[in-house]
Amino acid sequence: MAGIICLAPVLADVLGRVITPVYHFFRQDPGMFGCILSIDMGGYQMAVRLADNELVGRFAGIIAASIMGCTLSFTIPVGMGMFEKDVQNRFARGILYGLICIPPAILVGALLCGIPFLTALWLCVPVTILSLILVIALKKAPHATLRAFSGFAFGLKVLTTIGLFIGVFQYMTGLELIPGMTQVTEAMRIISIIAITLLGVLPFSKILHWLLKKPMDWFGDKLKIGGKGVMAFFLFYLDSMPGLIALPDLNPRGQIAAAAVAVCACSALSSHFAFTMACQSELTLPLLAAKLTGSIIAAVLALMMTRNEPGLTEDAGK
């Protein structure tokens, strides 16, 4: 995370030479390109650096990057790579439903950021097109899509390693190898705030499950996803990895619904919340509202689309 934050301004300057004329041709703000990376993986810095309008840059780097960027750079490549085939197929199906809900989620975030309605609609067009492309790719060629995202994730890993190495070298020696990089001390300041927030995530999830087990079991039985399925929803809000780890233990309907929720909900109350508080605290409410809106719509859509399918509710809650 620190490495990509260090490199983000340089990447924005390099990519901006190509991206900016294209976005201007379509009368779009190039800051929206930053949403291809997660908010805490350089998306925010890239969006702000590329943006023509400061407000659009903050919206793209905080709201859009926390949903679309996180899905592209973390949820899909990590999730698709850690499950067996049956779970992977249901996970991919849930991701499809979640992707459909990204445009309304970021539209709510844009409006709460103070962007006028028509402008917000226009800014959502590139994200909507990208969401549709991903839906078609996952539907028609899931394995090829997985390989593409795995390559994307590997490329990010290489960049983060290089960025961290150069950032530390410049700090230790005082030599500037690459002008324009974010200071590693500033990157680590942001990481420290996120780490402090994450310290309590897993203990809090355990306490939450202990306190709310009975209502979760009751609600899960009503939805036919089991108490563990409802808990998985909360886990994704708290942090991505606990939610992904819990996914194979859910019944099939719960796996689809939880994956759908994950697209917008991931890390809403942990790293994304902490990053926003550290960089743009006034956008905390729009961030949470956008993530909550998208995840609720995704959960309803996934549950509706699976309500009459046989075999999806077997072993619920076990």
Mean pLDDT of 164-192: 91
Q: According to the model, what pLDDT value does residue 19 have?
A: 92
Q: According to the model, what pLDDT value does residue 313 have?
A: 65
pLDDT digits (tens, 9 = 90+) for 267-277: 998 889 989 99
Q: According to the model, what pLDDT value does residue 314 have?
A: 61
pLDDT digits (tens, 9 = 90+) for 29-87: 999 999 988 998 889 989 999 999 999 999 999 999 999 999 988 888 888 778 888 88
Banded model confidence at residue 318, pLDDT cuts 50, 70, 90: very low
Instruction: Answer whether residue 312 is part of any domain.
Output: no
Q: According to the model, what pLDDT value does residue 83 have?
A: 84
pLDDT digits (tens, 9 = 90+) for 196-241: 877 877 787 778 778 888 898 999 999 899 888 999 998 899 888 8
Instruction: Answer whether residue 17 is part of any domain.
Output: yes
CA angle, 60 then 63 then 64, to 5°: 55
* pLDDT(18) > 70: yes
Q: According to the model, what pLDDT value does residue 317 have?
A: 41
Mean pLDDT of 162-173: 94
Instruction: Answer whether residue 317 is part of any domain.
Output: no
Domain count, the chain: 1
Q: Give the predicted TM-score (pTM) of the model.
A: 0.87
Banded model confidence at residue 146, pLDDT cuts 50, 70, 90: confident
Domain that holds residue 139: 2-305
HEC assignment per residue over 136-172: HHHHHCHHHHHHHHHHHHHHHHHHHHHHHHHHHHHHH
Instruction: Answer whether residue 250 is part of any domain.
Output: yes
Instruction: Answer whether residue 311 is part of any domain.
Output: no
Instruction: Answer whether residue 316 is part of any domain.
Output: no
pLDDT digits (tens, 9 = 90+) for 271-307: 899 899 988 999 999 999 999 999 999 999 999 999 8
Q: According to the model, what pLDDT value does residue 5 have?
A: 87
Q: According to the model, what pLDDT value does residue 116 have?
A: 96
pLDDT digits (tens, 9 = 90+) for 85-95: 888 889 989 99
Instruction: Answer whether residue 315 is part of any domain.
Output: no
d(CA 300, CA 101): 10
Q: According to the model, what pLDDT value does residue 309 have?
A: 75
- Percent of the chain exceeding pLDDT 90 equals 53
Q: According to the model, what pLDDT value does residue 311 have?
A: 66
Banded model confidence at residue 132, pLDDT cuts 50, 70, 90: very high
The more confidently predicted of residues 85 and 177 is 177
With 0-12 / 13-18 / 19 or more C-beta atoms within 10 angstroms meaning exposed / middle / buried, residue 150 is middle
Give me the chain's average pLDDT, please.
89
- Percent of the chain exceeding pLDDT 70 equals 97
Instruction: Answer whether residue 108 is part of any domain.
Output: yes
* pLDDT(316) > 50: no
